[in-house]
Amino acid sequence: MTLTTHTLGYPRIGAQRELKKAVEAYWAEKITLQELEATGQELRARHWQEQKEAGLDFVSVGDFAFYDQVLNLSLILGVIPPRFNTCPDQADLDTYFRMARGRAPSGEPAAACEMTKWFDTNYHYLVPEFQPQQEFTLNAQLLLAEVKEAQTLGHQAKVTLVGPLSYLWLGKAQGEFSSLDLLPQLLPVYAALLQKLADEGVDWVQIDEPILALDLPTAWKQAFETAYNQLQAVAVKKLLAVYFGGLQDNLGLAVNLPVEGLHLDLVRAPEELEQVLDRLPAYKVLSAGVIDGRNIWRSDLVRLREQLASAQGRLGDRLWLAPSCSLLHVPHDLEQEDQLDSELTSWLAFARQKLDEVTLLAAALTGQLNQQREAAWAENQQALVSREASTRIHRPEVSERLAAIDPAMYARTSAYEQRALAQKEWLKLPLFPTTTIGSFPQTPEIRKARRGYKQGELGTERYQELMKQEIAYCVEQQEKLGIDVPVHGEAERNDMVEYFGEQLDGYAFTRFGWVQSYGSRCVKPPVIFGDVSRPQAMTVEWSRYAQSLTDKPMKGMLTGPLTCLQWAFVRDDQPRETTCKQIALALRDEVRDLEAAGIRVIQIDEPAFREGLPLRKADWAAYLRWAVDSFRLTAAVVEDATQIHTHMCYSEFNDIIEAIAELDADVITIETSRSNMELLDAFEAFEYPNEIGPGVYDIHSPNIPEVEWMVELMQKAAQKIPAERLWVNPDCGLKTRRWEEVTPALAALVEAARQLRKAY
């Protein structure tokens, strides 16, 4: 009895972020193209070796990318927007980088392609742009060369590709047509690509169609049959991979497509296993994605063995084992973490360890646990027992507090109209009040001080003194500029989530837990491993100090519970809702302490509020319920006269406007400068009742916005929202900008507000 093991993909950035460093060095022209390519080749070889050593039957080829795997496919298929002025067959790595980021060491700069989130992950892909008469041409040399590379190293290569329908779905039609219209042109080229792989001796191609886990329009569902019937002609075995959710209404369709295998995400949708087993045609293999590719916890292998026992009985060697999705979304190797305690480490598994879990589980299922694996199996069980029983995780006072939440805790004392009166009385703000979103430039001096402090070279006192100087400077600048509601500037924060996580109990931080976010950018999400609580106030002293420097109302600044949750690896032993409410309670105490310290304007940032939305519409309401409740639990502890702000930096509110209104923040600031205030339509149509600050200064651009332009934007806003409820502010925080840009931009913003006051 055998079980085939594989992975849908592997992290490519390198355990030490070698790829990041190499591409950035190449962009800065510090290394040559040959050197960059050599790094890529070395990393691929190393990662394949790791897969082989773990005992997988295949190595994954095609998951490597110098920037993004979707962009790879765009180049393979010749989908290059005309502004890059490159014939598809002449596209090289510099074309690729120009598409990704607007410029490269060679070639004329042009506007980069749009980037957006890959399903519900924090990975961003480059959106394919389709022209009305889009042609597809095959340009597969690089991929074929990688296949050769793997084969030469003696590996069995399984190639992974984004499927034709997911590719079209993820792209954007540039004109009045649907990208689905392009399927007839795309399919022959896609088939030719498969044929080339077959010619190269590739046995299996994994075709990723994650859109089968979404709510699909009928036309798209139907297109699946057309497409795969046509691809059937190519004599290469196809594994159709679906992940990030269950198949649900697409189950019958997916099970019956004419391909040789189907991969399911049994972490997200374990309940579908039985149904699929009942309906899977006898010629197909089923790849069971049972090791969580989206989180960092060690799997419960005993439970998985039980879960899979009947599948194995029914399928025999047609059962394959794999992680639920590509391991791109987890850090590379736990073994590097030398500063986590051994107990916590024993609860975790990163990409490399997850490969071991796949093969260990396979060995257990086939009765092939040798001595070494017996030991690993026992260790797995011990770790789970230790985690379940750990007093570091379960804190009775936290669960008791959660259980004792009284519905009244979710609501402010009075309705907005009444609160607004109480707030006006002391705030005495002019019409079109000005404020910022929180952070000011993180200067090299600030970064240097923080580094010194973290490395122990700078004492706490000295560090705090330096940060106070920064705060004082920042407040002084805002006074000079005439900002109505100043902030302290967040100099002391490296990152809006990490800053709070470091001060809360229940959080841990890795040293090398990098996950690719886009291109060469990686994030290192904190790990929420236990019940969250707040040992002491986190921001009060800084805000109190800032307030002591000005007579203006100082705005306190917090990261909200949804964002803390969304941008972390979250424990899997309780619902996300529970963890979120624990964070909310901890932040609620911070809000209360800020108020008691005289900070009576408090902003609770929720840039990740929308990101938490489930992939299926049917699941939205449940999420929005606890998401809104968590925010309200944080905020609704203050008196009427204390003004709660929130901030969200994205541009789609239409479908969640009701929930946004339910947050009941007194003021919401949003990103609008690039959308010409169209974003406010949702607020207008809904008759959104509270105050809004539609950002008028695009902080992503180094350009200084002009007074007239901002006045005009605000006039547009005032046609949609009554002027009495409008604020004037930038789009987002200013931490990535320089003071030389920020000062004149804010001066112009304040001047725009002055002119508006005269006009209204």
Footprint of Zn ion on this chain (CB under 5 A)? 607, 649, 732
Structure tokens belonging to residue 138: 């095959």
Helix 396-403, helix 576-596: angle, nearest 10: 90
Distance in Å, CB of 695 to Zn ion, minimum: 8
Per CB under 6 A, the list member of 48, 123, 733, 753 interacting with ligand GLN is 733
Distance in Å, CB of 735 to ligand GLN, minimum: 5
Structural contact between residues 236 and 205, judged by C-beta atoms closer than 8 angstroms: yes
Spatial CB neighbours of 390, under 8 Å, sequence gap ≥ 6: 343, 530
What's 523-561 look like in SS3? Answer: ECCCEEEEEEECCCCCCHHHHHHHHHCCCCCCEEEEECH
Closest CB to ligand GLN among residues 494, 755? 494
Per CB under 6 A, the list member of 591, 649, 710, 746 interacting with ligand GLN is 649
The C-alpha atoms of residue 685 and residue 671 are separated, in whole angstroms, by 18
Coil vs helix vs strand at 726: strand
In the sheet that holds 667-670, the strands lie side by side as 555-559, 601-605, 643-648, 667-670, 691-694
Q: Which of 171, 251, 165 is nearest to 210 (CA)?
A: 165
Structural contact between residues 84 and 98, judged by C-beta atoms closer than 8 angstroms: yes
Closest CB to Zn ion among residues 340, 557? 557
| 732 touching ligand GLN, by CB under 6 A | yes
Per CB under 6 A, the list member of 161, 165, 504, 557 interacting with ligand GLN is 557
Helix 371-389, helix 351-365: angle, nearest 10: 120
Quote the Cα angle for 724-726-729, to 5°: 145
Structure tokens belonging to residue 288: 């069971």
**125 strand-pairing partners:** 116
- The count of residues interacting with ligand GLN (CB under 6 A) is 13
Residue 19, annotated ligand binder? yes
Closest CB to ligand GLN among residues 337, 490? 490
Distance in Å, CB of 563 to ligand GLN, minimum: 8
> With CB cut-offs between 5 and 8 Å by kind, which of ligand GLN, Zn ion, none does residue 101 bind?
none
CB count, 10 Å around CB of 18? Answer: 16
* DSSP-assigned letters across all residues of 573-620: SS-HHHHHHHHHHHHHHHHHHHHHTT--EEEEE-TTTGGG--SSGGGH
Amino acid making up residue 630 = S
Residue 494, annotated ligand binder? no
Residue 17, annotated ligand binder? yes
| 291 touching ligand GLN, by CB under 6 A | no
CA contacts within 13 A on the Cβ side of 202: 33
Residue 122, annotated ligand binder? yes
> With CB cut-offs between 5 and 8 Å by kind, which of ligand GLN, Zn ion, none does residue 735 bind?
ligand GLN
Closest CB to ligand GLN among residues 289, 607? 607
Amino acid making up residue 341 = D
CA contacts within 13 A on the Cβ side of 570: 18
| 213 touching ligand GLN, by CB under 6 A | no
Interacting span for ligand GLN (CB under 6 A) from 193-201, 417-425, 672-680, 728-736:
728-736
How close are the terminal C-alpha atoms of the chain, in Å? Answer: 80
Task: Tell me the residue number closest to Zn ion, measured at CB.
Answer: 649
Closest CB to ligand GLN among residues 334, 437? 437
Q: Which of 159, 182, 187 is nearest to 172 (CA)?
A: 182
> With CB cut-offs between 5 and 8 Å by kind, which of ligand GLN, Zn ion, none does residue 496 bind?
ligand GLN
Spatial CB neighbours of 443, under 8 Å, sequence gap ≥ 6: 470, 738, 739
Residue 113, annotated ligand binder? no
Per CB under 6 A, the list member of 290, 437, 528, 602 interacting with ligand GLN is 437
> With CB cut-offs between 5 and 8 Å by kind, which of Zn ion, ligand GLN, none does residue 439 bind?
ligand GLN
Interacting span for ligand GLN (CB under 6 A) from 110-118, 218-226, 264-272, 730-738:
730-738
| 354 touching ligand GLN, by CB under 6 A | no
Q: How far is CA 96 from the centre of its chain?
A: 23
Distance in Å, CB of 649 to ligand GLN, minimum: 5
Distance in Å, CB of 732 to Zn ion, minimum: 3
Structure tokens belonging to residue 588: 């609620």
Catalytic residue among 6, 47, 488, 700: 700
Interacting span for ligand GLN (CB under 6 A) from 48-56, 229-237, 331-339, 432-440:
432-440
| 647 touching ligand GLN, by CB under 6 A | yes
| 607 touching ligand GLN, by CB under 6 A | yes
Closest CB to Zn ion among residues 5, 673? 673
Distance in Å, CB of 696 to ligand GLN, minimum: 16
Distance in Å, CB of 705 to Zn ion, minimum: 16
Residue 417, annotated ligand binder? no
CB count, 10 Å around CB of 85? Answer: 12
Q: Which of 154, 144, 204 is nearest to 52 (CA)?
A: 154
> Which is it for the CA torsion 64, 67, 73, 75, positive or negative?
negative
Amino acid making up residue 623 = Y
> With CB cut-offs between 5 and 8 Å by kind, which of ligand GLN, Zn ion, none does residue 693 bind?
none
Residue 522, annotated ligand binder? yes
Catalytic residue list contains 155: no
Task: Tell me the residue number closest to ligand GLN, measured at CB.
Answer: 733
Residue 567, annotated ligand binder? yes
Closest CB to ligand GLN among residues 695, 705? 695
Distance in Å, CB of 601 to Zn ion, minimum: 17
> With CB cut-offs between 5 and 8 Å by kind, which of Zn ion, ligand GLN, none does residue 438 bind?
ligand GLN
Closest CB to Zn ion among residues 383, 649? 649
Structural contact between residues 9 and 327, judged by C-beta atoms closer than 8 angstroms: yes
| 483 touching ligand GLN, by CB under 6 A | no
Closest CB to ligand GLN among residues 88, 730? 730
Per CB under 6 A, the list member of 138, 466, 496, 660 interacting with ligand GLN is 496
The C-alpha atoms of residue 619 and residue 635 are separated, in whole angstroms, by 25
Structural contact between residues 595 and 413, judged by C-beta atoms closer than 8 angstroms: no
The C-alpha atoms of residue 364 and residue 752 are separated, in whole angstroms, by 69
Per CB under 6 A, the list member of 352, 735, 745, 748 interacting with ligand GLN is 735
Q: Which of 536, 511, 500 is nearest to 344 (CA)?
A: 511
Closest CB to ligand GLN among residues 197, 558? 558
Distance in Å, CB of 732 to ligand GLN, minimum: 5
Per CB under 6 A, the list member of 287, 312, 434, 439 interacting with ligand GLN is 439
Annotated binding site for 5-methyltetrahydropteroyltri-L-glutamate: 17-20, 117, 122, 521-522, 567, 611
Q: Which residues bind ligand GLN (CB under 6 A)?
A: 437-439, 490, 496, 557, 605, 607, 647, 649, 732-733, 735
**Catalytic annotation, residues:** 700
Annotated binding site: 17-20, 117, 122, 437-439, 490, 521-522, 567, 605, 611, 647, 649, 671, 732
Annotated binding site for L-methionine: 437-439, 490, 605
